[in-house]
Amino acid sequence: MSIKSINWRGATCAVLAAALLTGIAGCTPVAVQGSSPPAGPIEAAAEPNWTSGGMVAAANPLAAEAGAEVLRAGGSAVDAAVAVQGVLSLVEPQSSGIGGGAFLVHYSAATGDVITYDGREVAPRGATADMFLDAGGKPLRFFDAVRSGRSVGVPGAVAMLELAHREHGRLPWRQLWRPGITLAETGFAVSPRLHEMITAVVARGSLPANSAAYLTLDGKTPRPVGSLLRNPDYAATLRRIAVQGAKALREGPIAEEIVSAVRADPMPGTLTLEDLRDYRPNRLEPVCSTYRVYLVCGMRPPSSGGVAVLSVLGILSHVDMAARGATTVAGWHYLIEAQRLAYADRDTYVADDRYEAVPIAGLLDRDYLASRAALVSPGRAMQRVEPGRPPGAQLRGRDATGGTTGTSHFVVVDGRGNVVSMTTTVESLFGSQRMAGGFFLNNQLTDFSFTPFDDKGQPIANAVAPGKKPRSSMSPTIVFRDGRFELAVGSPGGHAIIGYVAKSIVGMLDWGLTPQAAVDLPNVIARGLVVAETARMDPALIESLRAMGHEFRGGRSGGEASGIHAVRRLSDGRLEGAADSRREGKVVAVPYDSTR
Ligand code: GLU
C-alpha cells in the first residue's frame, strides 16, 4: 500500500479508514519464492529533501552500533536490520536470533509504499492439535512444553531478512553479517542483563549440555558480568549464511543439526529436513487505520499485534485523550478500558488467517469500535468484559495464551528516509534452550493454544495444526502524517506488547511527550485484571483507579518486561529516538551526509 496514494487533505478520517480497510480486508498473503542466493545491491531512490540522517534504536549497544555502521557505509534500513539481527542473536540470545522468527514493517521513502514481511515460525508437518496435552488430556506444564522439542517451529527470521534484502537492500548481503562474525570470533563481554537471564534460566532447571557449556562456567554457574564470551560455532554459521543465504539453514549440516536438536529428549519434536527445506517467508499488506490525523500501520495475522493496537486506538478515538494527559486518572482509565475490550476480541478472533477466517475488517470497523467504545463509562470500570461480535465473526472460544519474554524490537531509519520497524523473537528466554550451530532454537509453538477447544466446547482459533503459524502479539508499527513518516515503535513482552505499544503511541501523539518520556511512562496492561508497573506510578493515581473498580493483580510492580524502542521525526525534520530504560539498549544517530 502506498501512503502517497492517500489524499491527506481531502479525505476525512472515516472515509480514509473505510477505504484502507476495504482494500486490505480483501488481500491475501503473497507467498514469495525465496530459495535462490541473495541478490546483489539494489539502488533505491532517496526521499527528496530528506536531511534527517539516520538512526538505530535497539536493545543492545553492540547491535545498535552494528546497524549504525552499516548506515554510515551507505546501507539501507533493511541492510542495517540484517546486521542488527546478526549481532542481537549473539549478544542478546535470550531474546531473539537466527533460530527464531520475526515481523518487519517497511516504509520506502521513494515510493511511499508500506509493506510487511512475515518470518513467523510454522508448525512442522508432524504437529498435532493435542501435542501440548499429556496422556490424560491435560495441558502440559508450560515450561515442560517450552523445553520440549515439540515447541520448536521452523525458524523464519533469516529467510525473512533475505526476502526484505532482496527488495530493499543496497549493500551486498555477505557484508552485513560481518559485525556478527567478528564479535562471535573475538568475543564480547557478558552484559548485566544477559547474566541475569542466564541466572533465571539456570534456576528453572537443567539446560541441554551444549547450552549449559555455552552459558555457564561449570554447567550451573552463570557466566559472570564482564566475562568474555566467544561463539566460534555461531561465527561459522554466519559465514555460511553470508555466502548461501537462508538456504544454509534449510539444508546441509546446520539443518541436520537443527533436526537432531529438536529430536533429542525430553519430549522430542517431529521437525524434519523437509519442514526446514519448505519454509518460505511472506510479504503481506500491512493492516492500517487512522488515528486522529495519523495513519497507523502494523502487522496483520498471524500477529494479533496490528489489529489489537488499532482496536485500542480505534476505541480511544472516541475520547479526547489530549485533554486528559499523562498524569490524569481519566487518561489511564480510558487506556485501561480500551485495552480490556481490544484484548477480549484479540484473544477470541485472531489467529493464522490462512487457517481461520479472521474478521479483520469487522474488528476494525468504525461503527463496531464505536459500539465497543460506548461500553466504557467515564467514572466506573466495566464489571465484565466479553468479546464482541464484530461483523463477519464466527463463534470462537477465548484463548489465554500470549507468549513470555524472549523478544527484541528495533527501529532503523536510513539516510534516505526508509524505515524498518522489526520485532524478532525466540519466544521464551533462550527459546527452547536447545542449541544448534551456535544459536538457540525457538519455542514459538507454545504460542498456540495448548487445547483445541475451550471449556464450553467452542473451537479455539489459535489451536495447533501442521503448517500453521502460532498467533503472535508482536506489534512493529509505523505511523504517518500528511504523507510523511512520523514515528516507528514496537516492543517485546508477549501479549503485553499490545499494551506497551498503545501506551507509547498515545504518550507521543496525544499526551505530547518526547519518545523517551512516552517509553518511560508506567506500563499498564489490562488483558483481564490490570498489571501495572506500580513503582513508576503515583500511589494516588493507583488509589483513584482502584476506587473506580479497576482491580490490580499482585502487590509488586509489574509490566517491566518491555523493551520499547522508538524513533520519531520531529516537525523540524530531526529524528529523536528512545531506548527503554528497563533494558540496556541504545539509540545511535547517524548524521546526514549529503554525498550519499
Ligand atoms: N512469542 C511472543 C509473540 O510472538 C513474543 C514473546 C515476547 O514478546 O517476549 O507474541
Q: With a 6 A CB cut-off, is 124 part of the ligand 1 pocket?
A: no
Q: Could you give the CA distance from residue 393 to residue 373 in angstroms, rounded to a whole number?
A: 19
pLDDT recorded at residue 49: 64
pLDDT recorded at residue 204: 87
Give residue 425 CA to ligand 1 midpoint distance, Å.
6
Mean per-residue pLDDT for 112-139? 97
pLDDT recorded at residue 403: 59
Cell numbers for 114? 508500506
State the first-to-last Cα distance of the chain, in angstroms, to the nearest integer. 27
Q: Tell me if residue 136 falls in helix, strand or coil.
A: coil
- Residues 6 or more apart whose Cβ sits within 8 Å of residue 337: 315, 376, 381, 382, 526
Q: Where are the beta strands (DSSP E) in 522-562?
A: 524-526, 530-532
- 51 is known as an active-site residue: no
Q: Tell me if residue 499 falls in helix, strand or coil.
A: helix
- Residues 6 or more apart whose Cβ sits within 8 Å of residue 276: 154, 249, 250, 251, 255, 258, 259
Of residues 212, 195, 231, the one with CA closest to residue 584: 195
Contact 163, 63 (CB under 8 A): no
Backbone dihedral angles phi then psi of residue 569, each to the nearest 5 degrees? -100, 120
Spot the catalytic one: 405, 407, 451, 534.
405
% of the chain with per-residue pLDDT over 70 = 91
- Amino acid found at 337: E
Give residue 304 CA to ligand 1 midpoint distance, Å.
11
Q: Could you give the CA distance from residue 27 to residue 114 in angstroms, rounded to a whole number?
A: 14
Cell numbers for 287? 493492516
Q: Could you give the CA distance from residue 112 to residue 116 in angstroms, rounded to a whole number?
A: 13
Q: With a 6 A CB cut-off, is 259 part of the ligand 1 pocket?
A: no
Q: Is the pLDDT of residue 554 over 80?
A: no
Mean per-residue pLDDT for 94-107? 97
Instruction: Give per-residue pLDDT as tens, 502-553.
Output: 999 999 999 999 999 999 999 999 998 899 998 899 999 999 999 999 998 8
Q: Could you give the CA distance from residue 267 to residue 138 in angstroms, rounded to a whole number?
A: 16
Instruction: Give per-residue pLDDT as tens, 143-198.
Output: 999 999 999 999 999 999 999 999 999 999 999 999 999 999 999 999 999 999 99
Of residues 498, 497, 473, 499, the one with CA closest to residue 336: 499
Cell numbers for 158? 533469516
Q: With a 6 A CB cut-off, is 403 part of the ligand 1 pocket?
A: yes
pLDDT recorded at residue 35: 32
Q: Could you give the CA distance from residue 136 to residue 243 in angstroms, rounded to a whole number?
A: 48
405 CA closest ligand 1 atom index: 9
Q: Could you give the CA distance from residue 478 to residue 494 in angstroms, rounded to a whole number?
A: 19
**CA of 430: how far to CAs of 59, 130, 167, 298, 542, in Å?**
16, 25, 30, 26, 34
Contact 427, 583 (CB under 8 A): no
Mean per-residue pLDDT for 61-90? 98
Q: Whose CA is nearest to atom 3 of ligand 1?
A: 472
**Whole-prediction pTM value?**
0.93
Backbone dihedral angles phi then psi of residue 422, each to the nearest 5 degrees? -130, 130
- Residues 6 or more apart whose Cβ sits within 8 Å of residue 343: 308, 495, 498, 526, 527, 528
Give the Cβ contact number of residue 236 at 10 Å: 17
Q: Could you give the CA distance from residue 278 to residue 492 in angstroms, rounded to a whole number?
A: 28
Q: With a 6 A CB cut-off, is 562 part of the ligand 1 pocket?
A: no
Cell numbers for 232? 566460534
Length of the chain: 596
Q: With a 6 A CB cut-off, is 79 part of the ligand 1 pocket?
A: no
493 CA closest ligand 1 atom index: 8
Of residues 526, 148, 483, the one with CA closest to residue 332: 526
Q: Is the pLDDT of residue 37 over 60?
A: no
pLDDT recorded at residue 64: 98
Cell numbers for 30? 503473497
Q: Where are the beta strands (DSSP E) in 356-415?
A: 406-413
pLDDT recorded at residue 596: 62
